Amino acid sequence: MDVRLPATLFSSIFLFVLLNVSHVESARRLTSGGAFHWYNGLFVFGDSFADTGNFPKSNLSEVTRQWYKPYGISHGFLGDPTGRFSNSYVQSDFIAKILGRSQAPQTFRDTKGSYSDHFGVNFAVGGAGVFEVPRKAPTQAMQIDSFKKMVDAGDIIRKWQLEQSVALVAVSGNDYARVAKMSNDTEILVFIGNVTDEMAKGVQRLQKLGVTKILVNTLHPLGCTPWQARPSNYTKCMGRGNMAAELHNGDLEQKLNATNSNSSVYLLDLSKAFTNIIDPSDPHDVPEVAKKFKEKLKPCCKSFDPNGYCGQVDEDGGDQYSVCSDPEDHFFWDDVHPTHAGWEAVMKQLEQGLKDFLHITY
What is the pLDDT at residue 11? 39
Parallel, antiparallel, or unpaired: how do β-strands 301-303 and 321-323 relate? antiparallel
34 DSSP 8-state letter: S
20 pLDDT exceeds 80? Answer: no
Q: How do residues 24-82 score in pLDDT, each as one tens digit?
A: 333 333 333 333 467 889 999 999 999 999 998 999 999 999 999 999 999 665 568 99
282 or 2, greater pLDDT: 282
CB 125 within 8 A of CB 54: yes
Terminal alpha carbon distance of the chain:
38
90 pLDDT exceeds 60? Answer: yes
Question: Who's near 232: CB < 8 A, 6+ residues apart?
Answer: none
CB 198 within 8 A of CB 140: yes
What is the pLDDT at residue 89? 96
Euclidean distance between CA atoms 192 and 119, whole angstroms: 34
Cis peptide before 283 (omega within 30 of 0): no
Among 86-90, 192-196, 241-245, 307-311, whose mean pLDDT is lowest? Answer: 241-245
Active site residues: 48, 334, 337
What does the buried/exposed string (b/e) look like for 26-39 if buried means 16 or more CB atoms within 10 Å of the residue's CB?
Answer: bbeebeeeeebeeb
Euclidean distance between CA atoms 350 and 215, whole angstroms: 11
Q: How do residues 138-157 score in pLDDT, each as one tens digit?
A: 999 999 999 999 999 988 88
What Å distances lie between residue 300 and 98, 229, 238, 296, CA to CA?
Answer: 27, 14, 20, 10
What is the pLDDT at residue 213? 95
Give domain limits for the chain.
41-358
Euclidean distance between CA atoms 37 and 213, whole angstroms: 12
Q: Does domain 41-358 have CATH number 3.40.50.1110?
A: yes
The H or E element spanning position 23 is helix 21-31
Euclidean distance between CA atoms 360 and 337, whole angstroms: 28
1 pLDDT exceeds 60? Answer: no
What is the pLDDT at residue 28? 30
Q: How do residues 180-221 score in pLDDT, each as one tens digit?
A: 677 788 998 999 999 999 999 999 999 999 999 999 999 999
Q: How do residues 265-275 score in pLDDT, each as one tens digit?
A: 999 999 999 99
CB 44 within 8 A of CB 105: yes
R_g of the chain, CA atoms, integer Å: 21
What Å distances lie between residue 118 and 40, 105, 125, 215, 244, CA to CA?
Answer: 9, 8, 20, 20, 38
Euclidean distance between CA atoms 112 and 89, whole angstroms: 23
Sheet strands side by side (includes 120-122):
120-122, 41-46, 165-170, 213-217, 265-268
